[in-house]
Chain A
Amino acid sequence: MDARLTVLTAFPPAAGIDNEEYYQNSQQHAKRVRELIRDNAQWIRESADDILKHVNPAVYSLSYLMILEFLLQSPGWTSQQAHESLASYMAQFFLQFDARQIRCKGSTWSDVLKEAYSERGLFPASVVVELVTAALLRLDPSGSIITSHHCNLVELAYNTGNVGAILPLIEKPIIYMPAKGMSTAQPLCDMSLPPPAYINPDSQLTDALTSAAVLQYDFLCGLCFIERRMWQQAFDAFERCVTYPTRDGGCSKIMTEAYNKWILVGLLLTGKPPTLPETTSQAAKKIFATQGKPYKLFAQAFKSETAGDLVREFEVINSELLPNEGNVELAKLVLAHYQRWQIINLRNIYTNISLEKIQERTQSAETGAPLPTVEAVDQLVQSMIADGSLQGAIERPKDGSPAYLTFLSSPAQGMSEVEFSAQVNKVMQGIKALEPIIETTNKRLASNREYISHTVKRQFDAAREHKLGIQSTGGGFEESSFHIEEEEDLMSGLPAH
C-alpha cells in the first residue's frame, strides 16, 4: 500500500487506550494528515476517488473528513462530474461517520456540514435534509441539544417542503442549549460526556445561538408539524414559544405569533380553547391578552352551541389578521373541525343517536347552519370513523328504520393491580432517566453567575433569619423552590419528590 495511504489509516488506534491518549492521538493524526494534504495536494485532487475507496468513512472518519474539507476548498473541483463525486463522498461520510472521532475536529465537521446545505447546491434539498438529519442524530443520538445546524435544517426543510425527513430529529425534546464555557476538563472524545459538554461554541460543533434563533426553531417545528397534521406535537412546539423564559418585561414577536397559532392548534387538538401554562411570563401574558385578543374571542366562540358566533368571529379576524399572519388555512380548518368536535362531544351524552338527531344538534361552521341532508351527516360521520377521530359505528337496521350512530365505549375500563403497577413502573423509569439530565443541569448552573449570587443571597438570608430567631415562613433553600430571577419560578407547580 502507498505509504501515504498508511498515514491516512493510522487513526483510530487499537482499542484499549484511554480518552486522554485517544484525544492526543487524534490531534497528532490531524496534524500529520494536514501536512500530508499540504505536500500531496495534486495527488489527492487527481486520485481522490481511489484514495477515498481505501479510507472507510465509518472507520477512518477523521482522515476522510479532512480530505473532504480539502476537496471542497480546491478550486479545480467545479465540474459537474466533480460535483457528483463530491456529493457522493459527503453522503457516504455523513451517513457513516464515527461520532467519537469528529468530536475531536468539530470545526471541520461543522464547515463540511454547512457546505451540504450551502447555496453551492451539491445536493437537492430533499437529500440535504435527510443527510443533515442523519448527521445530527449520529452526533447526538439523544437529540437533546439544539445546534445552529438544527435551526438551518428546519428552515430549509420547511421552505422546501421536505418536512417528513426531519421528523425523527424534531420530535426529540430539546433540553439543553449550547453556551460558551461549557467544555469540561475531560477530553471531548469521552463518550460518557453529556451533549452540552461536547456540543457547544467552544468545540465548534455548533455556532452560538440567540434567543430569536431558538424561538424560531420551535416556531418552525410547529409549522412543520402543522403540515403533517401532527397537532399534539405542533401544540407542544408553539407552547414552548409561548412559555419561553423572558426577563425585564420582554416578549418577542415570534412569541405572539406562536400564541395565535397555539390557540388555533389547541382548538383542533382538544376542541376547546387552551389555557396558558403557569410558566408563561407575566409580561408575555399581558401582551397576549391585548395582541392575541381577536384569536381568544374566536376560541371562545368555538365553545358556543351555535356556529353563528364562530362564523362572526372568523369574519372579524379574517379581514386583516389572518392573511397577514398566514393563519387563513389554519382558521378555516378550525371552522371545519367545529362540527366534528360537536359530534365527538355527543359521545359524552349519547350511547346511540340517530343521524337526524345529529343533524339537528350540530352545525357546520363553514355554512353557519346544520348540514342540509342526513346523507351529508352520514358522510361526515363515516369520514370521522375512517380517520379514527370518532370511535363509533353507523348501524343500519334491516327493518328499514333510519340509520343511527353507536358510540363505542372506551376500552380502558380500569386496570388490574399488576397492569397498573407495570404502567407506574414504566413512567417511573422515565422519571429516573431524568437523573443524569438533572445532574448535568446542576453542574451547568454551578457555573452560572446569577444562580450563584442568588444561592449565596438565599443562604445569607436564611442564616440571618436563623440568627435573629425568626421563624422562617417559607423554609430554607432546600425546602423552597428557587428563582433565578423575580419573574421566573422554575420549580413551582411540581409535586415534591
Chain B
Amino acid sequence: MDDRKLAFFTAIEDQGGVIVKETPKFDLDLYIQNYKGRTRFERLLHIGRSSVPLCVDALTAAVQEAKAGSDILRYQMAVNSLFQAAPNEPEAILDKTWMESKEKENRDTTAHLQAELQSYKNNMIKESIRMGTEDLGKHFQSIGDVEAAMDSFWKMRTEVSSTEQLVDIGKLLVRVAIERRDWKSIGSHLKPLNMVNDSDPKAKALKTYSKIANGIAALGQERYKEAAFCFVEASSGVPPEIYNQIASPNDVAIYGGLLALATMDRHELQANLLDNDSFREFLQREPHIRRAITQFVNGRYAACIEILESYRPDYLLDIYLQKHVPKLYADIRTKSIVQYLKPFSCVRLDTMQKAFNGPGPSIEDELFTMIKDGKLNARIDAINKSITPISTDSRQQMQSKALQTLENYEKQALDRIRRMNIMAADLEVKGSRKPGGMNDISLSMTMDDTASLA
C-alpha cells in the first residue's frame, strides 16, 4: 500500500470505519451491474472507502457514476476521496466547469418544476398536481436533497386517486427512507404494498419488493430473525429490475442465508431455505452460501464456518451488511459450537480448537465467554483440557421449580398478611399528598423518624 492510500485508510479507520485488506471474490464491474439508481454510487463509494485492493477502481467508478447524475455533493465527495487515496488519477481532479453548469442546470430545473407545479395547483387539476409533485420529488432526490424529496413524496399522498398510485408513492418513500437509513419508517411506507390483493397481477412483484425492503429495514434494526424470514419469503420469479434500486438477487441470497444461519436451527434451515424452491433459486446465484447452509444442516459446522470466513471480505464490503458481519458471524459460530457439543458427553479442547480454529481468541476463552453469557450449558475442565456439556434434567427442574413456587407462596403470603395488618393498624407511612392529588412525592418524605435514626 502506498503512503497516500495508507494515510487515507488510517484516517477512515480513525473515524471508526472498517478497512478490508483482503481481495474480495467478486468482480466490481459485474457486481455493480446488478444495481440501478442511486444505490450504485453509494455502493461504489462504500467499497472505495473500505477495500484496500478495490479502492481506486471503486472510487474512480464512483466519480464517473456521480458525474453521470446531478448530485454535485456526491461528486465532490467521490473526487475528494479519490484525491486522498490516489491524487494522480485523472478523475481525482474536480471538474469545476461541470459542477458550475450542473449547479445552474439543477437550479433551473428546480425553478421550472416548482413553477409548473404551482400552475397545476392554480388550475386545481389533481392528477397534474400529483405528477408535478412526483417530478419535483424525484428531481430533489437526484440532486441529493433527500429531505425535500421526502417532503414532496409525502405531499403526493393527498392527491392520489388509485391504489396503484399509493403503491408508487410507498416505493418512492421507501427508497428515500433507505437512503436516509430511516429504518423505522420503512414498515409504514410499505403498508400500501402489502394491502394489494393477491389476485392483482403485480401482487407477487410488490410483495417481493416489500419483503426485501422490510428485510433491509429489520437488518438495520438488528431484528435478525425477522429479517431472515423476510428475505427467504421473497420470490425468485420476480424480475430483479423490480427491486434492483435497493438490492440484487445475490444480496437476497446472502442476506437471507447469513441471517438464517445466525438465527434458525437446523430444522428451520432445512424447511425454510433448502426445501424452499423459490429461495433455492436465489441460492443458486451464491452457491457458497448454499454450501455453508448445507454443511450446517449436515452437522459439519467447521466446514460451514470455513466457507463463511473465506467470504468475510466480500460481506464486509456490503453497504448494509458490513456493520452486522461481526455479530452475525459470532452468532453463527456460537450456534455451531453449541450444536457441535450436543451429541457428546465430553470433548477435548484441542479437538475443538482444530474444528473451530478461528481468528478470535483461543477456544477455551471463547467457551468461557459463551458459558458465562449463558449461551452454552457446559463445564470446562481446564486441567484435563476438556469440556463437558450439561444435560438438562427436566424432572429435577420441575421438582425444584415446584418446591420454589410453594416456598415463595408461603413467604409472600406471610408478607402480604403482615402488610394487611400494618394497614389495618393504620401504621402506613403517610405522605402529604392528598389522595388522588398530584403533588411532587419528593416533597412528601416524612421526616418524623430521622431523629431517632441519627
Asked if A279 and B415 sit within 8 Å, CB to CB, the answer is: yes
Of the candidates A290, A357, A414, the one whose C-beta lies within 8 Å of that of B396 is: A414
User: Residues 422-454 of chain B: 1 if any A CB is under 8 Å from the residue's CB, otherwise 0?
Assistant: 111111111111111101011011111110110
- The minimal Cβ–Cβ distance linking A23 to chain B, given in whole angstroms, is 25
CB-CB under 8 A from A254, the residues of chain B are: 449-450, 453
Whether a CB of chain B sits under 8 angstroms from the CB of A423 is yes
Cα separation A494 to B415 with both chains bound (whole Å): 11
- B410 near A430 with CB under 8 A, answer yes
Partner of A351, one of B368, B379, B416, B431: B379
**Interface stretch (choices B30-38, B108-116, B381-389):** B381-389
Q: Tell me the interface secondary structure of chain B in the complex.
A: helix
> Interface code B378-406, partner A: CB below 8 Å = 1, 0 otherwise?
01111110001000010110011011011
Quick check: A252 and B449 within 8 Å, CB to CB?
yes
A290 to B412 alpha-carbon distance, docked (Å): 27
User: Would you call A309 an interface residue if the criterion is a C-beta within 8 Å of the partner chain's C-beta atoms?
Assistant: no
- Minimum CB–CB distance from A338 to chain B (whole Å) comes to 16
Query: In the complex, which residue of chain B has the Cβ closest to the Cβ of A245?
Result: B428
Contact of B406 (CB < 8 Å), options: A214, A413, A414, A428 = A428
Within 8 A of B (CB), among A219-269: 219, 240, 243-255, 257
Complex Cα spacing A431 to B452, Å: 37
- Minimum CB–CB distance for B390 against chain A, Å: 10
Q: Is the CB of B452 within 8 A of A179?
A: no
Q: How many residues in A have their beta carbons less than 8 Å from beta carbons of B?
A: 75
> Are B380 and A491 in contact, CB atoms less than 8 angstroms apart?
no
Whether B435 contacts A486 by the Cβ 8 Å rule is yes
Tell me, rounded to whole Å, the shortest Cβ–Cβ distance linking B130 to chain A: 47
- Total count of chain B residues near the partner, CB < 8 A: 60
Nearest-CB distance from B442 to chain A (Å)?
6
* Cβ distance A393 to chain B, nearest Cβ, rounded Å: 13
A352 touches B382 (CB 8 A): yes
In whole Å, how far is B150's beta carbon from the nearest beta carbon of chain A? Answer: 39
Given A414-B399, A486-B435, verify A349-B372 contact (CB < 8 Å). yes
Judging by beta carbons under 8 Å apart, are B393 and A349 in contact?
no
Taking the complex as formed, is B407 at the interface, i.e. its CB lies under 8 A from any CB of chain A? yes
Query: Measured between alpha carbons, how far is A306 from B396 in the docked complex, in Å?
Result: 35
* Mask of A157-182 contacts with B, CB within 8 angstroms, 1/0: 00000000000000001111111000
Residues of A within 8 Å of B202, CB to CB, are none
One of A351, A441, A445, A486 near B381 (C-beta < 8 A): A351
Least CB separation from B371: chain A residue:
A349
* CB-contact partner of B430 in A214, A247, A414, A445, under 8 A: A247
B421 at the A/B interface (Cβ < 8 Å)? yes
The answer for the CA separation of A250 and B445 in the assembled complex, in Å, is 6
B429 touches A244 (CB 8 A): yes
**B68 touches A (CB below 8 Å):** no
Which chain A residues border B424 with CB–CB below 8 Å?
177, 179, 441, 444-445, 448, 451
Residues of B with C-beta under 8 A to A216 = 449, 452-453
**Interface-side segment among A88-96, A104-112, A124-132, A205-213:** A205-213
Nearest CB of chain A from residue B344's CB, rounded to whole Å = 15
The residue of chain A having its C-beta at the shortest distance from the C-beta of B430 within the complex is A250
Chain A residues with CB under 8 Å of B448's CB are 210, 212, 252
Interface 1/0 per residue, A262-285 and B, CB below 8 Å = 000000000000000001000100
The distance from the CB of A270 to the nearest CB of chain B, in whole angstroms, is 15
Q: Which chain B residue has the least Cβ–Cβ distance from A427?
A: B406
Is B419 at the interface (CB under 8 A from chain A)?
yes
A351 to B371, CA, bound (A): 13
A270 to B427: give the CA distance in the assembly, Å: 31
Given contacts A211-B429, A215-B449, contact A279 B419 (CB under 8 A): yes
Q: In the bound complex, how far is the Cα of B376 from the Cα of A224, in angstroms?
A: 41
B223 partner residues in chain A, CB cutoff 8 A: none
Q: Is A493 an interface residue (CB 8 A)?
A: yes
- Give Cα A240–Cα B442 distance, bound, in whole angstroms: 21
Chain A residues with CB under 8 A of B384: 352
Q: Is the CB of B409 within 8 A of A495?
A: yes
A354 at the interface (CB under 8 A from B): yes
B7 at the interface (CB under 8 A from A): no
- Which residues from chain A contact B412 at a C-beta distance below 8 Å? 493-494
Determine how close the nearest CB of chain B comes to the CB of A297; give it in whole angstroms.
Answer: 19
Residue in A173, A179, A252 with the greatest tally of chain B CB atoms within 10 Å: A252
B423 in complex: contacting residue of A214, A348, A488, CB < 8 Å: A488
Residues in A whose Cβ lies below 8 Å from that of B437: 248
Choose among B380, B400, B433, B452 the residue that contacts A249 (Cβ–Cβ < 8 A): B433
* Interface mask (A471-497 → B, CB under 8 Å = 1, otherwise 0): 000000000000011101011011100
In Å, the complex CA distance between A428 and B406 comes to 8
B1 an interface residue at 8 Å Cβ cutoff? no
Residue A434 is within 8 A (CB to CB) of chain B in the complex: yes
A434 and B406 form a contact (CB under 8 A)? no
User: Is B413 an interface residue when CB atoms closer than 8 A count as contact?
Assistant: yes
Q: Name B449's contact: one of A253, A283, A357 (CB within 8 Å).
A: A253
Any B CB within 8 A of the CB of A70: no
Q: How far is the CA of A448 from the CA of B427 in the complex (A)?
A: 13
Contacts of A438 in B (CB 8 A): 417
A415 CB–B CB distance under 8 Å: yes
For A450, the chain B residues whose CB sits under 8 A away are: 423
A412 to B449, CA, bound (A): 46
Are B416's CB and A350's CB within 8 A? no
Residues of A within 8 A of B436 (CB): 486
From the candidates A178, A253, A424, A445, name the one contacting B403 in the complex (CB within 8 A): A424
Taking CB as reference atom, which chain B residue is nearest A415?
A: B399
Q: Given A354-B383, A494-B416 in contact, is the A248-B406 Cβ separation under 8 Å?
A: no
Q: Does B418 contact A (CB under 8 A)?
A: yes
Q: 30 A-B pairs, CB-CB below 8 angstroms?
A: A211-B427, A211-B428, A214-B427, A244-B429, A247-B428, A247-B431, A251-B446, A279-B415, A287-B445, A348-B371, A349-B379, A353-B380, A353-B383, A354-B382, A361-B368, A414-B395, A420-B399, A423-B403, A424-B402, A427-B410, A430-B410, A431-B406, A431-B409, A441-B420, A444-B420, A444-B424, A450-B423, A451-B424, A488-B423, A490-B416
Residues of A near any B CB (own CB < 8 A): 173-179, 196, 209-212, 214-216, 219, 240, 243-255, 257, 279, 283, 286-287, 290, 348-354, 357, 361, 404, 412-415, 420, 423-424, 427-428, 430-431, 434, 437-438, 441, 444-445, 448, 450-451, 484-486, 488, 490-491, 493-495
State the B residues within 8 Å of A (CB): 368, 371-372, 379-384, 388, 393, 395-396, 399-400, 402-403, 405-407, 409-410, 412-437, 439, 441-442, 444-450, 452-453
Instruction: List the 3 shortest-distance A-B pairs measured between CB atoms, nearest first.
Output: A250-B431, A212-B449, A179-B425
Contacts A212-B452, A420-B399, A495-B405 aside, 11 further interface pairs with beta carbons under 8 A come to A176-B421, A179-B426, A245-B429, A247-B430, A248-B430, A251-B445, A252-B446, A349-B372, A352-B383, A441-B421, A491-B416
